[in-house]
Structure 1
Amino acid sequence: MNEDSGRAEPPPSFRPPPTPALTRRALLGLAATAGVGAANVGAFAYAGDLFPEDRLTPARFVDRFEQVAGRHPGFRRNHAKGVSVSGHFTANGDGSDVSKAVVFESGRTTPVTGRFSLSGGAPDIADAGLLVRGLGLLFALPNSEQWRTAMINTPVFPDSTPEGFYERILASKPLPATGKPDPRKMADFLAAHPETAEAMAFNRRHPPTSGFGDSTFNGLNAFRFTNAAGATVPVRWSLTPLQPAGPGTAGDGGGAGKAPDRNYLFDALISNLAERPLRWRLMLTVGRPGDPTHDATRPWPPDRRTIEAGTLTLDAVRTEAEGNARDINFDPLVLPDGIAASDDPLLSARSAVYAQSYRRRAGEPKQPSPVDVSKVLR
């Protein structure tokens, strides 16, 4: 990619390395013996850079994040700024209509470890309403099964392929003088990727809410759900907040005439969780034949069947540290029996890149998180 010209050369195609014969579930069982916080299935499934030089490898993808945001040892290469949370998910049984996964069994309560975050590779970035908000969750299920998911607060993803995402990272790099992307580079990128332009326009029609607590978080990618009878359907999932939207939920970061505090989104989340649990409904949207499962930029029609599968309750928040969400890789392909990947190419790419990021930060010295829960609550 030629940065001096301002035009992106065609990126190499992304091919994840072949998964070893050992199944992902078996790998998960092996990894679980080291504890939930250290489990990293992706690191097993995608160990090594097994690509030719001209391929877009997970290592090159992570290098691109570091090129744009700088290198911050010990932190994630994207969504670096975050805080750990925990709670539980209570199923109402309705999700069992489409999936045999035990997480959906009526009345089952599943422990959950999670992480709220903001997009970008800088762990000390100032909170801003337009930054993409993330929520990663790990559902700890019986018999060493896990369900991991990494969601964001936009209704569709800007990119349909790993190659497009790779190009967009560079096109979106802020200029030092303005703090915004180079308009010419971004225009060139969007001209080459009309699907991204359409997705961004769609997302702009769904502006962010006031904070983490009143945000809807979307899984974006499609998955295949199989029920006890063997019927398989495409599904996308979302978490919709039970907290009302508005400044009372997340705060505005300062009083009248004041600039927002640097950590205002996180500070409000921490204060709210100290006062009361926060809850979301888990909504499963069931696709029909012909609905795109391979393209996360395209929304499904609004009349698709939805199932309310249960309630996520988050009731504790902690500064990121050893033993909590800091050391979890929210690999989207760690899935329980009854949920499987679709044909979306972003899923295998995300899994491989997450593993590469995990391996790098796992071997680096850890730095204190800029989001310190104790400072907010004292």
Structure 2
Amino acid sequence: MKKRLIAMLIVPLTVSLTALAQKVDKVTAQQFVDLQQGERVYAGFRRAHAKGICVTGEFVSNGRLAAFSRATIFKPGATPFTGRFSIAGNNPTAPDLKAPVRSLALSFVSSASQQWRLAMNTPPVTAVSDPHSFYQQLQALKAGPEAITAFFRAHPESADFLAWKARYQPTASFATEQYHSINAFYLVDESGQRRAVRWSFEPRANKPVTQAQHKDALHDELQQRLAQQTVVFDWVFTFAGAGDDENNPAKQWPDNRQRVVVGELEISAWQPQSSGHCHVINFDPLVLPDGIEPTRDPILRARSAAYAESYRRRAWERLTAGGEGAKND
């Protein structure tokens, strides 16, 4: 059995990300992950958002979305979850407060056949709308300030992202950030009607409990906060309006769109990622329950393919004990 699993893990993924976006240029999941991990490989860790902390708790639904989606999670009541806060980058020892992006990932398991995995970031939109441009953006970031300035000058579709970036002020707590789905999805009701939505997790807390500036400041702040109180976010769904393109993740929807607060996410405990339940989860945003469907957004497909390639590499390293991070994720 172990030999068969090893054989499966070393077979490279052949997903052509830009083929999904109907681009001529071919960028594979392997190339994306190679670029993200850089020259130094931290064995056993995620290639992006390598530094994180596991959390657990429950989502308490108020039932307001049950008419729009047949997903059981939206019926009134509580659903437990396993989640993970993280910072951007491939270095699992990086300073928390220097990360330009913070993330929140969640995994809900309703039954053996019904799972939902969410991977959210602080930006509400992406800078570009297709995988090939996204790959070029990562290359420009690696090349330095002049290259990324030239890239954005050549990509006017980045306007909404740049507007967000200009006004964004990162906080000193995972608990006081707002996290976004970035991509749109469809809610599917009992009659099969689909409605395009994005969602966000909006914090109830408004200030950090500590103002530490050391390397693990966000992680330590969260631990201290959870020792005192539960961390709560409102889960808010925004419905697409006329003219909104659910397949374009770079375009911000207008503020006047219908918003529905569907319940509270209550985080009650944390665990180190080296031993917590989140370390074995691939937070692939295309793992969806009945009642939620993906749009044709090509960036969404690209994220899924890259997550799978990153997970394949980590799994191989853990299986072969290939480094000090072999038990981490």
TM-score, scaled relative to structure 1? 0.77
Shift of 1:48: 2.8
Match of 1:101 in 2: 71
- Match for 1:131 among 71, 92, 100? 100
Match of 1:59 in 2: 30
Shift of 1:54: 6.3
Task: Kindly report which structure 2 residues correspond to 1:157-168, keeping only aligned pairs within 5 A, or say none.
Answer: 157-168=126-137
2:161 is aligned with 1:199: yes
- Match for 1:362 among 311, 315, 320? 315
SS at match of 1:353: helix
Tell me, yes or no, if the aligned pair for 1:89 and 1:112 is still in contact at 8 Å.
Answer: yes
SS at match of 1:65: helix
1:33-72 CA-to-partner distances (Å, cap 9, x unmatched) read: xxxxxxxxxx99x9732559962110111111123x6311
Shift of 1:142: 2.8
Measured at CA, do residues 87 and 319 of structure 1 come closer, stay the same or move farther in structure 2, by a change above 3 Å? same
CA–CA distance in structure 2, aligned partners of residues 155 and 323 of structure 1: 28
- Match for 1:289 among 214, 237, 242? 242
CA–CA distance in structure 1, aligned partners of residues 99 and 35 of structure 2: 22
Tell me, yes or no, if the aligned pair for 1:155 and 1:206 is still in contact at 8 Å.
Answer: no
Match of 1:33 in 2: none
- Match for 2:233 among 274, 280, 295? 280
Tell me, yes or no, if the aligned pair for 1:86 and 1:114 is still in contact at 8 Å.
Answer: yes
Match of 2:222 in 1: 269
Match of 1:10 in 2: none
Task: Kindly report which structure 2 residues correspond to 1:61-76, keeping only aligned pairs within 5 A, or say none.
Answer: 61-67=32-38, 70-76=40-46
SS at match of 2:175: coil
The residue identity in structure 1 corresponding to 2:268 is D
- Match for 1:342 among 283, 289, 295? 295
- Match for 1:252 among 181, 189, 211? 211
TM-score, scaled relative to structure 2? 0.87
CA–CA distance in structure 2, aligned partners of residues 322 and 128 of structure 1: 23
1:312-359 CA-to-partner distances (Å, cap 9, x unmatched) read: 111110011356111110000000111100121111111111000000
Tell me, yes or no, if the aligned pair for 1:155 and 1:203 is still in contact at 8 Å.
Answer: no
SS at match of 2:120: strand
SS at match of 1:110: strand
Task: Kindly report which structure 2 residues correspond to 1:120-269, keeping only aligned pairs within 5 A, or say none.
Answer: 120-128=89-97, 131-173=100-142, 182-243=144-205, 245-248=206-209, 251-253=210-212, 260-269=213-222
SS at match of 1:363: helix
Tell me, yes or no, if the aligned pair for 2:181 and 2:198 is still in contact at 8 Å.
Answer: yes
- Match for 2:62 among 92, 95, 110? 92
SS at match of 2:260: strand
Percent of pairs with identical residues: 38
Greater displacement, 121-130 / 57-66: 121-130
2:13 is aligned with 1:48: yes
1:100-126 CA-to-partner distances (Å, cap 9, x unmatched) read: 10000012x111000000001111111
SS at match of 1:172: helix
Task: Kindly report which structure 2 residues correspond to 1:293-304, keeping only aligned pairs within 5 A, or say none.
Answer: 293-304=246-257
The number of residue pairs the alignment matches comes to 309
Shift of 1:189: 1.2
The residue identity in structure 2 corresponding to 1:228 is E
After TM superposition, what 4+ stretches of structure 1 lie above 4 angstroms from structure 2? 50-54
CA–CA distance in structure 2, aligned partners of residues 333 and 313 of structure 1: 23
Measured at CA, do residues 126 and 219 of structure 1 come closer, stay the same or move farther in structure 2, by a change above 3 Å? same
1:120-156 CA-to-partner distances (Å, cap 9, x unmatched) read: 1111111125520000000111343111010011222
Measured at CA, do residues 230 and 82 of structure 1 come closer, stay the same or move farther in structure 2, by a change above 3 Å? same
Tell me, yes or no, if the aligned pair for 2:15 and 2:29 is still in contact at 8 Å.
Answer: no
Shift of 1:194: 2.0
CA–CA distance in structure 1, aligned partners of residues 192 and 148 of structure 2: 46
The structure that is strand-richer by fraction is 2
Match of 1:40 in 2: none
Measured at CA, do residues 367 and 111 of structure 1 come closer, stay the same or move farther in structure 2, by a change above 3 Å? farther
